[in-house]
Amino acid sequence: MPTADLADLADPFAELAAPGGLPVHLHRTTAFKSVLVQWVAECPLDEGVAARALLPDLLTRATRRHPGLAALSARCEELFGTDLLATASAFGDRQLLRIGLQTVADRWAGRPLFREAVDLLADVLHDPPLVNGCFRADHVEQERSNLVHAIESLDDDKHLYAYRRMIEALHEGTPFARHAWGSRDEARALTEQKVREAWVAVARRAPARLFVVGDVSEADALWAAGRLAAGPREPLGGPVVPPPIGDRAPRSLREVQPLAQSKLAIGYRLATAGLPGSAALLLGLVLGGDSFSRLFKRVREAEGLAYGCSAAVSVETGTLVVQAGIDADKAARVSELVAGELASLARDGVRDDELDLARRALLRRLADLRDSPRALCAFRHAALLAGRPHELAQAEAAVRRSTASEVAAVARDARLDTTFLLEGRPA
């Protein structure tokens, strides 16, 4: 674990109000030799996701002053090997665009490297190499092709494929069903104008936050916010609200592909009342979070029905997902065992030894966050978006407070929604 200035503070982040409506979350620490800067735009998961998903790779390939990958890479090397970071991801019904950097702290560089690196990041975000006001056609076409291939490659991971198909069915008709990159058809249909309009909206208006971790003063952090904000921005939205459960009957879907192993994904909806606190997360661990879990012991070890069987809870979407790699003819029995273990947890409760192991596992994961600036920022941002405690000490206290009866209550209110079987058959 890093030095005490991380561990001793209940909330190591200071929240600063920067001009332009860009909140700054600054964790000033000497525990790391590097400084992490993450500018994160929060956009809806709507029909514009594909155009926005193109931006991270498009913007980090060139700027006006560094009009190619080689020139931009050379500038990063001049800045002590500064790494540019850019991703598009989803959280609940939001698309998150992260554009940032990791660089050496000023005290190790022997010069004001932070400001130089943020100047470069501002160029990446706001000053691309436009030609007659447009993105270069070859850049857009290359990144559009890359995005199409990335979306298509999602189908190669069959475990992920089964999960995505189940989630799309479970959340059908809501933004929660969308992938952060959009569909392949949406990516193929992208034009330079659509991408440019998405860039203008994201870079200049979209709600955003700035996270800074490292030995950076408040003055420098606020200066960075000013360089990156580019004027007033739209206000941040409220916490993510899980979609309503509804009253439809459980559905079973099936698809056949030439695979050696079938993939089963089962989605349960969780009642909103059980989502605050840590009981829902602990339920996922007790049911299928590790080798001590009920599904591992029953489905894999006792009955030998699955090559792997796991469970996880997504608090922001109010879902419990169970996944297993199986022989296709074992799907009904595995589904039966999952339902039986949930019913047992709801009826008989969680044993003390199970709850203790689950608590230890969750507390260990929270403690591990302190070793990584990126993980610290990701945890804080996810907690803010979900309306949950965003201080590690608060989250750890919530884990310790959770009771067996609270975990049982979450299990009792879980409702089966969608089962998807990706059935493997010989080619």
Q: DSSP assignment, residue 3? A: -
Q: What is the mean pLDDT of each run of 10 residues along the chain (427 residues)?
A: 43 86 94 97 97 98 96 97 97 97 97 97 97 97 98 96 97 96 97 98 96 97 93 91 88 95 96 92 94 90 88 95 94 95 95 95 94 95 93 92 95 96 86
Residue 192 CA to residue 195 CA, distance in Å, equals 5
- The reply to whether 380 and 410 lie within a common domain is yes
Of 175, 199, 229, which residue is a domain's last? 229
- The reply to whether 263 and 121 lie within a common domain is no
Q: Are strands 22-28 and 208-214 parallel, antiparallel or unpaired?
A: parallel
- The reply to whether 285 and 326 lie within a common domain is yes
Question: 391 and 11 in contact (C-beta within 8 Å)?
Answer: yes
- The reply to whether 214 and 266 lie within a common domain is no
- The reply to whether 255 and 109 lie within a common domain is no
Sheet arrangement for strand 22-28: 14-18, 22-28, 208-214, 34-44, 94-104, 83-91
Please list the residues that pair with 242 across neighbouring strands.
Answer: none
* Domain extent for 291: 251-424
- 326 in helix, strand or coil? strand
Among 215, 220, 144, CA closest to 182? 144
The answer to whether residue 236 is domain-embedded is no
- The reply to whether 417 and 339 lie within a common domain is yes
Question: 415 and 269 in contact (C-beta within 8 Å)?
Answer: yes
- The reply to whether 52 and 201 lie within a common domain is yes
- Count of alpha carbons within 13 angstroms of residue 107, beta-carbon side: 11
Residue 107 CA to residue 30 CA, distance in Å, equals 10
The answer to whether residue 241 is domain-embedded is no
Q: DSSP assignment, residue 302? A: I
The answer to whether residue 405 is domain-embedded is yes
Residue 150 CB neighbour total at 10 angstroms: 14
Q: Pull the structure tokens for residue 275.
A: 């989502």
Q: Are strands 415-424 and 262-269 parallel, antiparallel or unpaired?
A: antiparallel
Q: What's the structural domain count of the chain?
A: 2
The answer to whether residue 239 is domain-embedded is no
Residue 357 CA to residue 360 CA, distance in Å, equals 5
- The reply to whether 260 and 147 lie within a common domain is no
Please list the residues that pair with 44 across neighbouring strands.
Answer: 94
The answer to whether residue 388 is domain-embedded is yes
Q: Pull the structure tokens for residue 158.
A: 């069959």
Instruction: Using alpha carbons only, give the angle 283, 288, 291 rounded to the nearest 5 degrees.
Output: 125
* Residues with Cβ within 8 Å of residue 188, at least 6 apart in sequence: 144, 148
3-state secondary structure 263-282: EEEEEEECCHHHCCCCHHHH
Among 238, 211, 215, CA closest to 225? 211
Residue 139 CA to residue 61 CA, distance in Å, equals 8
- The reply to whether 224 and 84 lie within a common domain is yes
Q: Pull the structure tokens for residue 353.
A: 């030894």
- The reply to whether 143 and 264 lie within a common domain is no
Residue 324 CA to residue 312 CA, distance in Å, equals 12
- For position 189, which CATH number holds? 3.30.830.10
State how far the alpha carbon of 251 is from the alpha carbons of 161, 323, 350, 415, 419, in Å: 18, 16, 28, 12, 6
Per-residue model confidence (pLDDT) at position 7: 43
Residue 15 CA to residue 381 CA, distance in Å, equals 12
Residue 180 CA to residue 88 CA, distance in Å, equals 6
- The reply to whether 186 and 333 lie within a common domain is no
Category of 12 on φ-ψ map: left (φ > 0), alpha (ψ -120 to 50) or beta: alpha
Question: 187 and 47 in contact (C-beta within 8 Å)?
Answer: no
Residue with tokens 């160029």: 123
The answer to whether residue 234 is domain-embedded is no
- The reply to whether 311 and 377 lie within a common domain is yes
Q: Pull the structure tokens for residue 72.
A: 């931009």
The answer to whether residue 244 is domain-embedded is no
- Count of alpha carbons within 13 angstroms of residue 174, beta-carbon side: 16
The answer to whether residue 275 is domain-embedded is yes
* 234-237: long-range contacts, CB 8 A cutoff, minimum separation 24: 234/21, 234/205, 234/206, 234/207, 235/21, 235/207, 236/23, 236/42, 236/207, 236/209, 237/42, 237/94, 237/207
